[in-house]
Amino acid sequence: MNKLILTVLLTLVQCNYFVAPTEKLDKLLAVAVYFRHGDRSPAKSFPTDQFFTLDNFPMGFGQLTNKGINRHYELGQWFRDRYSTFLPEQYSPKDILVMSTDVDRTLMSAAANLAGLYPPRGWQVWNKDLPWRPTPIHTVARADDNVLAMKKSCPRWDKLYDESKSSEFYQQIDKEHAELYEYVSEQSGLNVTSTDEIRLIRSIFYCYRNFNESFIPSWAETLNQTELDYLAGLTYAGRTATGEMKRLRAGPFFNYLISYFYDVSNNVENKPKFLMFSSHDTELVSVLDAMGVNDISPVSFAATIIWEVKETTEGSKYVNLFYRKSDDELLNLTVPGCAFDCQLDDFKVLLEPVTVNPEKWEEECNSENSK
């Protein structure tokens, strides 16, 4: 072999740029994406916050900002690029099903995302001056939604959640951070007694950091961001603190998701190959936590969980799990007990403890002593 060629090849290997001559020929069967809405204005704030006014937030409180719209538009473009050979350029209900919680900011995020994913092409161009085409987004009332919004009444979960919040673990956390609670109370005018209020403060600052950083008060400069993130992360994780809580909160979602994977894998008629879920940070953490891959940290705007179901040339099906933690950070995740290329049957078995069908969920939710 020519010495120059050999030197180049060795250099590529050492730099991790070498690509094997053979690539996987596995077939992509289905994709499901679950994302948080884009940047929003604060839904509420603390008493000393002078910037929490409709003059500063004409879009309203808790509403998507222009930056949030653009962030999801760009995420839709990212989906288009990633799945260019899987998802046809022209929208068809045979290819994709989009579901959102019944909240303005999630519905708008899904719409912005779809604008990036499906710029009209060919016969779907209906206005040459407007590169957009309406795409259906499905939702149900929050009070009836135990799959995506996770808001349908579940007395058993409510009881377990109250017990979790008053547990020895959270009491110890409150003691260890009492000095922080006192300082934030004095500065904000808010009565900070637990991680719940810290999560709120941290969320407000995060909204301001992505909207107008000058709105963040000077007293916040003395706060330890790592400490705020950890305490906020504990608040989110508190909703799925036990195996039973994971099941009651995220179980109906996984029942829907895994059933969908098997339907597509078995070529069930009228099943789209792409599922899109538009939701919130709290619910996204519950999904991560139920899979055992939550890192106890707050969720960025437009953070996205991605499941890809593939089929080998021999016919076996497996799942790849990704987490687009931020706009420029895509992580490979592995469910505990499985490899990255997790066999679909193994994926189902590993998640059986936190998967429950609607009828069983109703029964367990109304039971005094569930599993």
pLDDT of residue 349: 98
DSSP 354: G
Question: How would residue 368 be classed by pLDDT, with cut points 50, 70 and 90?
Answer: confident
Does residue 80 have a pLDDT over 90? yes
pLDDT of residue 6: 35
Q: How far is CA 370 from CA 144, 165, 362, 366, in A?
A: 21, 19, 11, 9
| Contact between residue 212 and residue 67 where contact means Cβ atoms under 8 Å apart | no
Least confident of 21-30, 270-279, 328-337, 351-360: 21-30
DSSP 19: -
| Contact between residue 277 and residue 34 where contact means Cβ atoms under 8 Å apart | yes
Rounded CA-CA distance 122/137 in Å is: 22
Does residue 17 have a pLDDT over 90? no
Does residue 39 have a pLDDT over 70? yes
Mean pLDDT of the chain: 93
Q: How far is CA 104 from CA 38, 101, 231, in A?
A: 11, 9, 28
Residue 280 annotated as catalytic = no
Which CATH code for domain 27-153+240-365? 3.40.50.1240
pLDDT of residue 370: 54
Does residue 319 have a pLDDT over 80? yes
Does residue 231 have a pLDDT over 60? yes
Confirm whether pTM is higher than 0.85. yes
Coil, strand or helix: which one is 63? Answer: coil
* Candidates 26, 37, 95, 345; catalytic one: 37
Does residue 365 have a pLDDT over 50? yes
| Residues 171-193: tens digit of each pLDDT | 999 999 999 999 999 999 999 99
pLDDT of residue 235: 97
pLDDT of residue 4: 33
* Candidates 39, 49, 145, 281; catalytic one: 281
CA angle, 250 then 253 then 256, to 5°: 150
DSSP conformation letters of 213-242: GGGS-GGGGGS-HHHHHHHHHHHHHGGG-S
The share of the chain scoring above pLDDT 90, in percent, equals 92
Residue 281 annotated as catalytic = yes
The share of the chain scoring above pLDDT 70, in percent, equals 93
Q: What is the mean pLDDT of residues 276-303?
A: 97
Rounded CA-CA distance 311/189 in Å is: 56
Q: What is the mean pLDDT of residues 319-330?
A: 97
Does residue 22 have a pLDDT over 50? no
Domain boundaries, the chain: 27-153+240-365, 156-236
CA dihedral 287, 291, 296, 300 (to 10 degrees): -40
Residue 106 Rama label (left phi>0; alpha psi -120 to 50; beta):
alpha
DSSP conformation letters of 94-137: TTEEEEE-SSHHHHHHHHHHHHHH----GGG---TT--------
Least confident of 10-24, 212-226, 231-245: 10-24
Does residue 154 have a pLDDT over 90? yes
Query: Residues 137, 142, 145, 147: is their CA dihedral positive or negative?
Result: positive
